[in-house]
Amino acid sequence: MTAASAQRELLIVGSGGFARETAEAVRAVNAVRPSWSLLGFLDDDEGLHGSSACGAPILGPLELAHDLSDAAVVIATGRPGNYASRRLIAERLELGDERYATVIHPTATLGGSCEVGSGSVLLAHVDLTAEATVGRHVAVMPQVVLPHDATVGDYATLASGVRVGGACRLGEGAYVGAGACLREGTSIGPWSLVGMGAIVTRDVPPERLWHGVPARDAGCAPLPDGFPPPD
C-alpha cells in the first residue's frame, strides 16, 4: 500500500477560524506522517459553496457527510457566542464515533496514561501530562496545559493559553476563555462559560457565566433557548 492510499479522506465541518486552524493542524500531521486526505469543508452558508479556505474547497452543506460516507469527519465550530454548536451538529448528523477523526497537532505532548476521545482537536503546543482525560468533540486551542488527573467532558472548549490545575473537572460543553486559570481541584459545571483571563478559585455551577479576578457569577450563560434539553 502506498503512503497516499493509506491516507483516510477527511471532511471538516465549519469553515471559520477554528475550522481553518484544524486544517492547518491536519497539514502539520501529514508533514510528519501522511494520515489524512483533506477533501474540504462543509458549511450550511450557501454563499460560501464553491469558494475555498486555507487552500481547501468549501464543498457544500453538512448533509454531504452522509453522501461521502467513507470520509472521516471532524466538527470544528464553537465560537463563544455559540459554543453549543458541536453538540447540536453531532446530534443533527447522527454519525457513529467511528466516523469521527481525532486531530492532534504534532507539537502537542500527551503522556502515555492520557486519553483523548473521538472527534476532538488538540492544536499546537497543548500539553497533557499524566492521566488527563479529554472527552469527545472537545476543542483544545494552542498552549493549553492539562496536568495530572484533569478531566474534560464532551463538547467542552478550552481557548488558547488556558491553565488548568491538577484534578480539575470540566463538565460537558463547558467553555473556558483564553488565558483563564483554574485552581487545582476546581470544577466547571456543564455548559458554563468562564471569561477570558479569569482566575477560578472555586467551583462554577452549571450553565453560568463567570468572569473576573477572582472569578464571580455574572448571570446565565449565553446558551440557545431550551438548551441543554432536559434529560
pLDDT higher than 80, residue 215:
yes
Q: Are residues 20 and 67 in the same domain?
A: yes
37-75 pLDDT, tens digit per residue, is 999 999 999 999 999 999 999 999 999 999 999 999 999
Quick one: pLDDT band at residue 154, thresholds 50, 70, 90? very high
The model's pTM is: 0.95
Here the cell at position 230 is 432536559
21 and 124 fall within a common domain = no
In a shared domain, residues 116 and 194:
yes
> Which comes out higher in pLDDT, residue 79 or 13?
13
For residue 109, tell me if it sits in a domain. Answer: yes
Region 195-223: mean pLDDT is 97
Domain finish residue from 71, 99, 127: 99
43, 67, 99: which is the final residue of a domain?
99
- Answer for the pair 150, 163: CB distance below 8 angstroms, yes or no: no
Are 140 and 156 members of one domain? yes
pLDDT at 231 over 90: no
The residue segments making up the domain with residue 77 are 3-99
Domain boundary residue among 52, 73, 99? 99
String of DSSP letters for 94-149: ---GGGB--EE-TT-EE-TT-EE-TT-EE-TT-EE-SS-EE-TT-EE-TT-EE-TT
- The number of distinct structural domains making up the chain is 2
CATH number of residue 88's parent domain: 3.40.50.20
CB distance 119 to 77 below 8 Å: no
Q: What is the mean pLDDT of the chain?
A: 96
The pLDDT of 185-191, averaged and rounded, is 98
